[in-house]
C-alpha cells in the first residue's frame, strides 16, 4: 500500500517557466511533509518542508502548498533553472510512524535551456 | 548546516563476503539514524531505524541477520551486509535526525556491487 504517491514520473519544462510537482498521501496521521531533490548516485538533499498546520511555505524559488482536505501537496519551482534537473521526492512523517519518512516514487524533472 | 557522511562511497565485493558501511553525523548528534536502499529508478525504501544504544528496528521484509546495524554512538551507525549476493547490489543511503528540526539529513550514499 503506497501511502505517498507521485503520479507523474517525469516532467519537462522550459527554463524560466514554473515547475509544478504533485504528491498525494493516504495516511491522515501524517503531519509533516518534505521535499527532497536527488541527483543520480547521490543522497537526497532537503529542499523545503511544511507542517500540517500550514497551507503554504515559501523559500526562495520553492513554494510548497498543502491541501489537507484533499491530502495533496505540491511543489512549485519558479523560475525553473537547468540546475533544477533532478529527481524530486516528496516524503511524509508523523503519527504512529514518528520521524520515519515515507517517500513517494519520485518525479524526474528536466529543465530545458 | 547538518552534514552526514558515508564511507565508502562505493565498494565492489565478491559473493559470500561481508561489507561494512559507515554513516557519521559530522556536526551534530544523531539519536536516530535511518538506513535506506534505492534500486535504479525507484524510490528510497526504508530498511531500518537505528537508535543509539539499542537494537535497530527493521522494516517488514528486511532480513535483520543479513543487514546488521550497529549504532554505537551518537555520531556513528554502521550497516554490515553479511554474506553478500549479487541481488544485494544497490545504492545504500543513511540519514540522521537533527534534534532541532524535523528534517532528516542524508548521507551521499554507498554504491555496493556484488560480483
User: Quick check: A54 contacting B, CB < 8 Å?
Assistant: no
User: Quick check: A97 contacting B, CB < 8 Å?
Assistant: no
- Rounded mean pLDDT of chain A? 93
Residue A106's pLDDT band, with cuts at 50, 70 and 90, is very high
Of B32, B103, B106, the CB nearest to A43: B106
Residue A76 to residue B28: CA distance in whole angstroms: 31
User: Residue B1: what pLDDT?
Assistant: 67
Across A68-102, b (16+ Cβ under 10 Å) vs e yields eeebebbbbbeebeeebbbbbbbbbbbeebebbbb
The tens digit of pLDDT for each residue in B13-58 reads 999 999 999 999 998 888 789 999 998 878 899 999 988 888 899 9
Residue B60 to residue A73: CA distance in whole angstroms: 27
Whether pLDDT at A83 is above 70: yes
The tens digit of pLDDT for each residue in A62-75 reads 999 999 999 999 99
Which residues in chain A are closer than 8 Å to B91, comparing Cβ atoms? 41
Name the closest residue on chain A to residue B95, using Cα atoms.
A43
Of A42, A89, A106, the CB nearest to B109: A42
User: Quick check: A100 contacting B, CB < 8 Å?
Assistant: yes
Which residues in chain A are closer than 8 Å to B109, comparing Cβ atoms? 41-43
User: Grid coordinates standing for B22?
Assistant: 559507515
Cis peptide leading into residue B5 (ω within 30°): no
User: Quick check: A1 contacting B, CB < 8 Å?
Assistant: no
Residue B14 to residue B22: CA distance in whole angstroms: 19
Strand partners, A75: A21, A64
User: Grid coordinates standing for A98?
Assistant: 514518528
Amino acid at each position: 500500500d503506497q501511502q505517498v504517491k507521485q503520479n507523474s514520473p517525469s516532467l519537462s519544462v522550459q527554463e524560466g517557466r514554473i515547475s509544478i510537482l504533485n504528491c498525494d498521501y493516504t495516511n491522515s496521521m501524517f503531519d509533516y511533509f518534505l521535499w527532497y531533490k536527488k541527483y543520480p548516485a547521490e543522497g537526497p538533499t532537503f529542499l523545503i518542508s511544511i507542517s500540517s498546520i500550514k497551507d503554504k511555505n515559501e523559500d526562495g524559488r520553492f513554494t510548497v502548498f498543502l491541501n489537507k482536505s484533499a491530502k495533496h501537496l505540491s511543489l512549485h519551482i519558479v523560475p525553473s533553472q537547468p540546475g533544477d534537473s533532478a529527481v524530486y521526492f516528496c516524503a511524509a512523517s508523523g503519527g504512529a510512524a514518528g520521524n520515519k519518512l515515507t517517500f513517494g516514487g519520485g518525479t524526474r524533472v528536466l529543465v530545458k535551456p | 548546516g547538518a552534514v552526514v557522511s558515508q564511507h565508502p562511497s562505493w565498494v565492489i565485493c565478491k559473493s559470500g563476503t561481508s561489507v561494512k558501511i559507515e554513516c557519521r553525523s559530522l556536526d551534530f548528534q544523531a539519536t536516530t539514524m535511518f538506513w535506506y536502499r534505492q534500486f535504479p529508478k525507484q524510490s528510497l525504501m526504508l530498511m531500518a531505524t537505528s537508535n543509539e544504544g539499542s537494537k535497530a528496528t527493521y522494516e517488514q521484509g528486511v532480513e535483520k541477520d543479513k543487514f546488521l546495524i550497529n549504532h554505537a554512538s551518537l555520531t556513528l551507525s554502521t550497516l554490515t551486509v553479511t554474506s553478500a549476493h549479487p541481488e544485494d547490489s544497490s545504492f545504500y543511503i543513511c540519514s540522521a535526525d537533527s534534534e532541532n528540526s524535523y528534517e532528516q539529513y542524508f548521507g551521499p550514499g554507498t554504491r555496493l556491487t556484488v560480483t
